[in-house]
Structures are given as structure tokens and as C-alpha cells.
């Protein structure tokens, strides 16, 4: 029974009285609850008993309870606890309060009465249960033999739990045992496959002749279909009265009664078993159904175990694959490569042969990824892996380290040049473009080669050497292969050190902007400045832009650096503007910035976000910002480029073509794009006084720009002779050391305040 609390033991004979009243005549069983002001909602003062009244018959109730200790308990207090409190304080009754509200009184006598009532109920219930046990004892005895038989059948099933398949003879033994146990004439088990077709079917009680005449076994339709589809048991006394009695073959032996049970476990149905027509003519009872269901449950455990064992086997195979192969390209990964390399090295030691390690890194893959998107970038990696595998022997290994890095291991080399031949074959295989989703992607690869035992004696050393040679190949123009030398290793280490410092240069404020004036040579006025980035590393010292800008491009760091340059240059130009010295500031854009992929969360291109956010946050007038773009950037993805430039132009931003004449030099694009000015590369200015060709080129550019109403700025002007030649060619705007080197912002301010350059 439930725990007994005082809420079930409240004394019924409690009289509510006011404290100023006198007892008068009172019943011997009564308790008096004394209140102040009101017996309904007044303040409870205490309990008065008949014993109290007998001792002081003339006192009012207030006097009877005045000096008594105030005790109370809550309704959920247990009776044992209540009795203990009564013993401790020598009282026979306790008031009961629920959230400061008096609800009644509990006494020793009231608790005793309730306990006696519960004891009486328990006695009645015990007698009732004894009678039920006497009635069921005979049934238990009669079913014990059947349960023993079921246990034997189930034990034979469970004995095969360690196996992954169920043989027909096991099912046959099981259905025969169950049929005998329940004294049925016919019995059958049907196991279904994943598609719902009949996979196993065993039966008993049907002769071979009857089986042959049936032609086919029950396929799980009609009544049997209900059992499978709804995962329920069916017990019918007369099948002919059920409209669902279909699905059995026409020549199946006649059946009247049916017991059909699903073979299922945790909602998964594996099949069904059915029995028909008991030998004594009786219908199947509830106990028959329970026995059959128990047997089917044991069988389902066998089948479920077989399924789990198969899934475990598949999972182990999958885990083994994941541990040794790259999920994207299906090539071996670093783990499997090292295992094979160790075997190859052991073999080479015994046979005195060589091993070639080729370290491959796709050229400009990050640019391609940013241009066509990461999904198509993954497709490109798969295609590259396929072409790579086609260049190798069966004994060679191509592996993917991650990203766009691949390793080729060439065991059993007899000549170092064999590794060079494979590298050349790989370079040749990648000359044809890769067609991906209507894109023609041109891809090349830089390859570094190390040789065992010439360069290193272990795999880690060979990989490091090949990595160094690969970086050297990139420095030599990419799309080539290079063998490892100690000098390359030193160069690779320097490259990695530079990359490590560059990654933290921005957050540690090591970058700065210098500004080089652009001058109108007729007026001597500063018409603009070009923002040029400088890196002052506490450890490396002054790092030249030619050393770290290509690294920033290759690693993708150019994006955050470029955004910082935009915002810093705009903020400085805005400061000059506030001081009454408005001057146009030119900022160079990189290819990586321009051709970033716009993701679904962005409402506009990332470059537009960077530019427009810089203008908005600094408050700079858009006409004071100029963006310098190379010809190569303009000619990539023409439609997207045109759209971005038109938006920038519509916002008032100026646009110029940097290093004009060194790229495509296609005059047609100048008419299509909203360009404001051209910047002649300093390579033409250097020899303008001695090379007639350079002079002719600058003259042609100047005339063409005048016809297209474009301004021209010549870069790299360092001598008076160069300046005079440019003046003769009507190139009125120049930039170079002749007037000023790049300066920090405070020195530029002094030039702007002077107003005119000599």
C-alpha cells in the first residue's frame, strides 16, 4: 500500500471555538480548535482537550491554551513522524496546517483507527489472492509441460545467436516442435527479404504431394499480410467468416481455425509463423497465442542478431576504409601511404633499389575554388586524382594528403630519371582543361621530387624534402617539377616561417600603409595618392611586398589584408578631407578579392561588401576612392566583373587599370568597362629615353586614352629626362621617386599642406 500520511488520519470530532468563549457542556470525544476573531478565518491559538476543561472548568478557552507550546505538522507528514513528535512533547494531538491554513487535527487514536482499517483491508485482499492462487495452481501445473517444451524449442533457437545466418533445418526443427506443442495439424514459418518477398519458407503437416499440387507457398497476402504489415497476432476460430481469408494457394489443405504470429523485434518485422486446426478440434486459446508469440520472439532475436552481425561487419569494413582511404577521391590517405612506404623502404633496403616520392600541389587551386565554388572544387580534385592514377603503374601509390596536396610513391626505381619521366607524364596529363558544370577549368601542378636513399632514409624525411622541392617549383613559375636539394630545404623553411609570421601580422598591428603622390606635371599639384602596404615584423624586420604579397595571395590571407587596406586607406583619406585637404586615394585589388564566391547568406558580392562598408564606416566621399585593377582581373568572368564594376561606378567610385600594357592589352575591353584612367607600367617608363619602342607604346596609349576620354598616369618616373619625354608625349600625370617615394600619412599631410611640388 501507499505511504500513510496524517492527511488520511484527521480526527473528525474537532469543534472550532473563539478564545473568549467558555467550554460549557462538551462531548467526551471532542477536541477544541481555538481561534481569535473568527472560527473560519481567524488566527489559530491552540488546541484544548476535555482533560483541560475538567481541570479548569471556569476558564475561557484563551486561558486553557495560552501557555502551551505551539506545535503543528503538515498534511504530508508520515504517521510515524507524527507519533514521534507526540512522544517527544507529551501530547495526544497535533494541529495540521497546509500553507499556514489550519485544516484539522491528528490524534493518536485517529492514527490507530486508520491503521486498523488498513490492516483489515490487507487481510481481505490476502484472502482474495489466496483463492486466486488456488484456482490458477491447476492451470500452472497443466501448462508446465508445455512451457518446458517451449523452453527447449527456444533454447535451440537461441543457441545459434552467434551465427550470422539462419539455416532452413533450424526453422524446420522449430516449427515442428511448436506444432507438436500446440497440437496443431499444420504449421509454417515464412521469412521475408528486404523487398517484402518470401526468402525462407518451411512447413510441417503437409505431404510432398500436397506441396507439389499447391505450386507456390503463401506469399504474405490476405490474413498473413495483415500480420506482417500491422505487426499483430491473429487468432480465428473460423477463417471462412473473415473477409480477409485470402492469400493462401488454391490447393492449400483446407483450414478452419488459424493462429498467426509476427516474427518481429523492436518494430522490425522479419516474417510470420502460422498454425491451423488443432487435433482435438478446439479453437486456439489465448495461452496458445502467448506460447506461439514467445517462440516467435526467440526466433526474432536470432534474426535480429544475424542482421546486427551483418551491419557490424559492414561498419568494420567502412571504418577500415575510412582509416586508410580518402573519402573524396578514393585514393589512399596518409596512414595507408606510410604503411606502404615502410614496406617499400624495407624492400628497397634488401634489394638496393630506389624509391621516388613526388609531392604534388595544384597551382592556384584556392583561386579556382573561390571562383567556381567549393563543391565544384571537390569535383576538380576527383578528376585530378583520376588522371593521376592513370599515369602510374600498378605497383605505384597515389595518395591524397588533404586539400589540393597529393603524393605519388614510386617503388623499385633503377634510375632517378624514372621519377622525372613520371612527373613529366603527370604534367602532360593535366594540360587538357577539365570540364565541370559548363566550366572549362585549366589546372596545372607543381611537383617536388625526393629519392630514397639519396635524400633521406625515412618517409617523414622524404616527404619533407619533396615538399621543399615542390615549393621551389612554385617559385620557378609553377607547372614544373624539381628535384630536392639542400638549398631548397632552406628556402622551404624560410617560406613556412614567413607564412607563420604573416598570419599574425594583421592582428598584431605589424602592417602599415604608405602613400605615394600622383602629380600633375604641368601644375605641380598632387591629384591623388596610391596606398601601398608595408610590413614591419619585430622578428623578420622590414619584409618587402614582393616577398609577402604573393604568399598572401596563395594562402588566401589577401582577403582579410585587402579588407583592412580598404578601410585604413578610406579612414586616412577621410581625415585629410576633414582637414580641408581632399585627395583621391588609390587602392589595389587582388584577383582573390575580386573573384571570391558569393555564398547564399550574402546579399551581394564580398568585394562590394568590403568597399561599401569601408566607405560607410569612414564617411569618405566615394569620388575620393579609386580602385586599381589589373587587366588579368578584368578578363576573368567578364559578366560578373562587369556587374561589380558597374555597381562600384554607380556609387561614385573611380576605377583604373593598373600595369596597363603588360597583360591582355585588348583595346575592346576599354570600351566595355567603366574605366576612368590607365596606369602605364614602369617597365615602359624605365627605358623611354633609350628605347624607341617604349616611347612609341606610351605615345600610342596616350593618344588612345585621349580618344576614349581616359586619363593616363605613368608609373616609375625617377629622372628628369623621363619626365620631359612624358611631357612631350602629352602624358600629364605621373607617379614615381622623382617627386616622392611612398611616405607615411603624416609626411603626406605636409606635402598636401604645401599645396604644390617643385
Q: pLDDT tens for residues 392-430?
A: 998 899 999 888 899 999 999 888 888 888 998 999 998
Q: How far is CA 734 from the centre of its chain?
A: 54
Pick from 336, 338, 356, 320: which is nearest to 451 by CA?
Answer: 356
Pick from 196, 183, 192, 205: which is nearest to 263 by CA?
Answer: 192
Cell 491554513 belongs to which residue? Answer: 101
Rounded to 10 deg, the angle between the 545-555 and 486-505 helix axes is 80
Q: pLDDT tens for residues 72-82?
A: 899 999 988 98
Q: Which residues of 665-693 are buried (b: 16+ CB within 10 A; e: fewer)?
A: eeeebbeebebebbbbbbebbbebeeeee
The pLDDT value recorded for residue 312 is 65
- Report the C-alpha gap between 561 and 148 in whole angstroms: 81
With H, G, I as helix, E, B as strand and everything else as coil, classify residue 294.
Answer: helix
With a CB cutoff of 8 Å and minimum separation 6, the contacts of 192 are 198, 199, 220, 228, 269, 270, 271
The pLDDT value recorded for residue 134 is 72
Cell 470525544 belongs to which residue? Answer: 29
Give the rounded percent of residues in the chain with a pLDDT score beyond 90.
Answer: 30
Which cell numbers in the block locate residue 534?
608595408
pLDDT band at 99 (very low <50, low <70, confident <90, very high): confident
Task: Say yes or no to pLDDT of 166 above 60.
Answer: no
The pLDDT value recorded for residue 671 is 77
Among 86-95, 111-120, 485-494, 575-584, the range scoring the smallest mean pLDDT is 485-494
Cell 580518402 belongs to which residue? Answer: 326
Which secondary-structure segment (H or E) carries 48?
A: strand 43-48
Average pLDDT in the 663-687 region? 80
- Across the chain, mean pLDDT equals 83
The residues that bridge with 236 in the sheet, in sequence order, are 258
Task: Say yes or no to pLDDT of 164 above 60.
Answer: no
Domains of the chain: 6-114 (3.10.580.10), 159-312 (3.30.450.40), 334-484 (3.30.70.270), 505-680+746-754 (3.20.20.450)
Average pLDDT in the 174-200 region? 81
Task: Say yes or no to pLDDT of 308 above 80.
Answer: no
Are 159 and 298 spatial neighbours (Cβ–Cβ below 8 Å)? Answer: no
Rounded to 10 deg, the angle between the 374-390 and 365-372 helix axes is 130
Which secondary-structure segment (H or E) carries 570?
A: helix 558-578
- Report the C-alpha gap between 586 and 607 in whole angstroms: 16
Alpha-carbon distances, residue 219 vs 5, 193, 196, 201, 265 (angstroms): 62, 12, 9, 10, 21
Average pLDDT in the 11-36 region? 85
The pLDDT value recorded for residue 162 is 38
Pick from 352, 363, 344, 558: which is nearest to 454 by CA?
Answer: 352
757 versus 183: the higher-pLDDT residue is: 183
246 versus 432: the higher-pLDDT residue is: 432
Task: Say yes or no to pLDDT of 246 above 60.
Answer: no
Cell 604503411 belongs to which residue? Answer: 339
Q: Quickly list DSSP for 481-529.
A: EEE--HHHHHHHHHHHHHHHHHHHHTTTT-EEEEEEEEEETTTTEEEEE
- Report the C-alpha gap between 22 and 255 in whole angstroms: 89
The pLDDT value recorded for residue 501 is 92
The pLDDT value recorded for residue 161 is 39
Average pLDDT in the 491-501 region? 79
How is the chain split among helix, strand and coil, in percent rounded to 5? 45, 25, 30
Average pLDDT in the 647-660 region? 91
The pLDDT value recorded for residue 160 is 44
- Report the C-alpha gap between 243 and 250 in whole angstroms: 16
pLDDT band at 217 (very low <50, low <70, confident <90, very high): low
Q: pLDDT tens for residues 586-604?
A: 999 988 887 766 555 566 7
Which cell numbers in the block locate residue 437?
558544370
- Report the C-alpha gap between 646 and 371 in whole angstroms: 20
The pLDDT value recorded for residue 18 is 92
- Report the C-alpha gap between 93 and 105 in whole angstroms: 7
The pLDDT value recorded for residue 516 is 96
Task: Say yes or no to pLDDT of 484 above 80.
Answer: yes
Among 195-209, 349-363, 470-484, the range scoring the smallest mean pLDDT is 195-209
Q: pLDDT tens for residues 542-586?
A: 999 998 998 888 778 898 999 999 999 999 999 999 999 999 999
pTM for the model stands at 0.49
- Report the C-alpha gap between 315 and 322 in whole angstroms: 10
Pick from 608, 618, 681: which is nearest to 647 by CA?
Answer: 608
Q: Quickly list DSSP for 101-137.
A: EEEEEEEHHHHHHHHHHHHHHHHHHHHHHHHHHHHHH
- Report the C-alpha gap between 299 and 160 in whole angstroms: 10
The residues that bridge with 204 in the sheet, in sequence order, are 187
| Residue 536, φ and ψ in degrees, nearest 5 | -110, 100
Q: pLDDT tens for residues 265-284?
A: 777 888 888 898 888 888 88
Rounded to 10 deg, the angle between the 374-390 and 416-429 helix axes is 130
- Report the C-alpha gap between 682 and 2 in whole angstroms: 98
- Out of 193-207, 527-541, 654-668, the most confident range is 527-541
Burial of residue 537 (CB within 10 Å: 0-12, 13-18, 19+) is middle
pLDDT band at 167 (very low <50, low <70, confident <90, very high): low
Amino acid at each position: 500500500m501507499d505511504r500513510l500520511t496524517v492527511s488520511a488520519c484527521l480526527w473528525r470530532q474537532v469543534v472550532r471555538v473563539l478564545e473568549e468563549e467558555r467550554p460549557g457542556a462538551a462531548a467526551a470525544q471532542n477536541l477544541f480548535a481555538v481561534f481569535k476573531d473568527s472560527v473560519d478565518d481567524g488566527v489559530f491559538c491552540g488546541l484544548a482537550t476535555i482533560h483541560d476543561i475538567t481541570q479548569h472548568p471556569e476558564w475561557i478557552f484563551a486561558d486553557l491554551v495560552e501557555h502551551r507550546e505551539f506545535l503543528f505538522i503538515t498534511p504530508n507528514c508520515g504517521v510515524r513522524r507524527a507519533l514521534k513528535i507526540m512522544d517527544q512533547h507529551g501530547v495526544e494531538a497535533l494541529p495540521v496546517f497546509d500553507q499556514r491554513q489550519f485544516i484539522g487535527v491528528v490524534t493518536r487514536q485517529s492514527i490507530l483507527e486508520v491503521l486498523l482499517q488498513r490492516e483489515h483491508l490487507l487481510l481481505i485482499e490476502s484472502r482474495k489472492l489466496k483463492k486466486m492462487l488456488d484456482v490458477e495452481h491447476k492451470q500452472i501445473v497443466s501448462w508446465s509441460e508445455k512451457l518446458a517444451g517451449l523452453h527447449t524449442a527456444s533454447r535451440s533457437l537461441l543457441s545459434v545467436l552467434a551465427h550470422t545466418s539462419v539455416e532452413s533445418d533450424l526453422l524446420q526443427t522449430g516449427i515442428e516442435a511448436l506444432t507438436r506443442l500446440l497440437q496443431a495439424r499444420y504449421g509454417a514459418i515464412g521469412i521475408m527479404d528486404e523487398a517484402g518477398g518470401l526468402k525462407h519458407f518451411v512447413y510441417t503437416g503437409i505431404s510432398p504431394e500436397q506441396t507439389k499440387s499447391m505450386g507456390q507457398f503463401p506469399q504474405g497476402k490476405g490474413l498473413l499480410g495483415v500480420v506482417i504489415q500491422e505487426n499483430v497476432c491473429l487468432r480465428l476460430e473460423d477463417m471462412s467468416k473473415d473477409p480477409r481469408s485470402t492469400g493462401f494457394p488454391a490447393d492449400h489443405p483446407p483450414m478452419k481455425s488459424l493462429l498467426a504470429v509476427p516474427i518481429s523485434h523492436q518494430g522490425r518485422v522479419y516474417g510470420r509463423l502460422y498454425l491451423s486446426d488443432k487435433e482435438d478440434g478446439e479453437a486456439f486459446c489465448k495461452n496458445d497465442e502467448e506460447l506461439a508469440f514467445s517462440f516467435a520472439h526467440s526466433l526474432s532475436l536470432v534474426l535480429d542478431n544475424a542482421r546486427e552481425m551483418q551491419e557490424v561487419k559492414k561498419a568494420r569494413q567502412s571504418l577500415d576504409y575510412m582509416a586508410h582511404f580518402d573519402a573524396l577521391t578514393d585514393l589512399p590517405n596518409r596512414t595507408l601511404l606510410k604503411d606502404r612506404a615502410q614496406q617499400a623502404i624495407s624492400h628497397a633496403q634488401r634489394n638496393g633499389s630506389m624509391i621516388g616520392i613526388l609531392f604534388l600541389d595544384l597551382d592556384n587551386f584556392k583561386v579556382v575554388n573561390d571562383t567556381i565554388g567549393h563543391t565544384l572544387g571537390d569535383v576538380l580534385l576527383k578528376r585530378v586524382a583520376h588522371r593521376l592514377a592513370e599515369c602510374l603503374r600498378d605497383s605505384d601509390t597515389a595518395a591524397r594528403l588533404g586539400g589540393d596536396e597529393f603524393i605519388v610513391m614510386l617503388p623499385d626505381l633503377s634510375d632517378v630519371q624514372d621519377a622525372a619521366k613520371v612527373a613529366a607524364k603527370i604534367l602532360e596529363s593535366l594540360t587538357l582543361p577539365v570540364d565541370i558544370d559548363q566550366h572549362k577549368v585549366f589546372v596545372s601542378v607543381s611537383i617536388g621530387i625526393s629519392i630514397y636513399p639519396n635524400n633521406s632514409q625515412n618517409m617523414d624525411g622524404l616527404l619533407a624534402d619533396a615538399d621543399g622541392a615542390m615549393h621551389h617549383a612554385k617559385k620557378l613559375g609553377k607547372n614544373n617539377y624539381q628535384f630536392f636539394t639542400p638549398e631548397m630545404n632552406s628556402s622551404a623553411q624560410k617560406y613556412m616561417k614567413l607564412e607563420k609570421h604573416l598570419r599574425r601580422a594583421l592582428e598584431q598591428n605589424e602592417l602599415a600603409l604608405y602613400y605615394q603622390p600622383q602629380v600633375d606635371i604641368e601644375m605641380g599639384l598632387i591629384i591623388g595618392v596610391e596606398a601601398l602596404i608595408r610590413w614591419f615584423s619585430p622578428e623578420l624586420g622590414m619584409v618587402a611586398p614582393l616577398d609577402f604579397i604573393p604568399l598572401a595571395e596563395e594562402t588566401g590571407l589577401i582577403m582579410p589584408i585587402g579588407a583592412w587596406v580598404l578601410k585604413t586607406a578610406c579612414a586616412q583619406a577621410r581625415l585629410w578631407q576633414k582637414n580641408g585637404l581632399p585627395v583621391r586615394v588609390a587602392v589595389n585589388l587582388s584577383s582573390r578579392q575580386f573573384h571570391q564566391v558569393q555564398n547564399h547568406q550574402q546579399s551581394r558580392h564580398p568585394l562590394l561588401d568590403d568597399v561599401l562598408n569601408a566607405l560607410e564606416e569612414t564617411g569618405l566621399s566615394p569620388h575620393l576612392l579609386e580602385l586599381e585593377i589589373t587587366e588579368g582581373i578584368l578578363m576573368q568572368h567578364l559578366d560578373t566583373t562587369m556587374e561589380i564594376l558597374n555597381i562600384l561606378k554607380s556609387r561614385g567610385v573611380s576605377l583604373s587599370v593598373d600595369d596597363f600594357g603588360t597583360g591582355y592589352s585588348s583595346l575592346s575591353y576599354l570600351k566595355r568597362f567603366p574605366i576612368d584612367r590607365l596606369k602605364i607600367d614602369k617597365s615602359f617608363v624605365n627605358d623611354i629615353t633609350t628605347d624607341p619602342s617604349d616611347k612609341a607604346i606610351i605615345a600610342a596609349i596616350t593618344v588612345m586614352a585621349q580618344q576614349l576620354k581616359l586619363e593616363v598616369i605613368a608609373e616609375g618616373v625617377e629622372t628628369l629626362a623621363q619626365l620631359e619625354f612624358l611631357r612631350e608625349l602629352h602624358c600629364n600625370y605621373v607617379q614615381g621617386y622623382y617627386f616622392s617615394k611612398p611616405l607615411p600619412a603624416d609626411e603626406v599631410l605636409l606635402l598636401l599642406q604645401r599645396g604644390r611640388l617643385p
